[in-house]
Structure 1
């Protein structure tokens, strides 16, 4: 089984390869990161590590047996016991339950390692797979939103004694 690892400096080459290999796949359902993201990847990676060190975000990579990155699962805007969850899974790893497993793992880390009590997420209405993953992980719809000009839904999951628990 892959391992969810906290982002480190040495993940940069495999993470860049993951983003390049999956760029078109991701851009089919979410806004493209743009050429500048790839041109300034090393600078961006260092900035993410600084945010993580400050405790503002927790970035994770889903690492396969060979050390290749199969996905990303992140907690951003960490404050007051809550954070926003975001994730992306490689095209070659999609459709095998890996996203649901990784999101559930992150829920456990959010509670046990980071002391969070609420996770939020959002996805657009056109993207059924993330909606299914969030539902299987125990998230519930909390409202409507707009994501890059497209209609979407917001979700939340309470962690621990005050919520439905991890993994739902």
Structure 2
């Protein structure tokens, strides 16, 4: 059982620990965040919360049953009814369906709470697990491109209008 929560100020320490513990693992499939990210994490966290308050991004932490951060799932660049989905799961939590469940919840929130009509997502060609998560959640391959000189795939997913009627 997992819980997806909007990013809050009190998530900072747990999120930093999550990012540090998984830095090498994440760098195998996405560009490393670099030392500056970790050195200035408090400022970066505050900036993310400010973006969220402005409504341009929606950041989430994914907690396991013990309340530990095991993943994050984000919707960035909200504009014109769409956003880009991004996620990362701790190495110790892979293979348990956490990514699929978190992405499904992010899609639900995007449609019901954030009023979005479409999502895009990107993964590298050499990350079949991420491709499977996206496909399982209704994303369809849109095109191939280079991401930091690596072959990558862009996916798209339309969202139904699930906002409650007034």
- The TM tier, using the shorter chain, reads over 0.9
Distance 1:41 1:86 in 2: 19
Poorly superposed stretches of 4+, deviation over 3 Å: none
1:63-82 equivalence runs, <5 A = 63-82=63-82
2:154 counterpart residue number? 154
What do residues 64-102 of structure 1 show as CA deviations (whole Å, max 9, x unaligned)? Answer: 222210000000000000000000000111011110111
How far off is 1:127 after superposition?
Answer: 1.0
**C-alpha displacement of 1:2:** 1.2
Measure the CA separation in 2 of the matches of 1:129 and 1:43. 32
TM-score under structure 2 normalisation? 0.95
- Taking the aligned partners of 2:52 and 2:149, their CA distance within structure 1 comes to 29
SS of 1:160 mapped into structure 2: coil
Match of 2:139 in 1: 139
The secondary structure found in structure 2 opposite 1:60 is strand
Residues 1:14 and 2:9 are matched in the alignment:
no
Distance 1:118 1:145 in 2: 20
Which residue of the partner structure matches residue 23 of structure 1? 23
Q: Distance in 2 between matches of 1:95 and 1:82?
A: 29
Separation in 1, partners of 2:57, 2:96: 27
**In 1, Cα distance between the equivalents of 2:146 and 2:78?**
21
Report the 3-state secondary structure (helix = DSSP H, G, I; strand = E; otherwise coil) of the residue aligned with 1:13: helix
2:120 corresponds to which residue?
120
Unaligned runs of at least 5 residues, structure 1: 162-168
Matched residues in 2 for 1:141 and 1:88: separation? 19
Q: Determine the structure 1 residue equivalent to 2:109.
A: 109
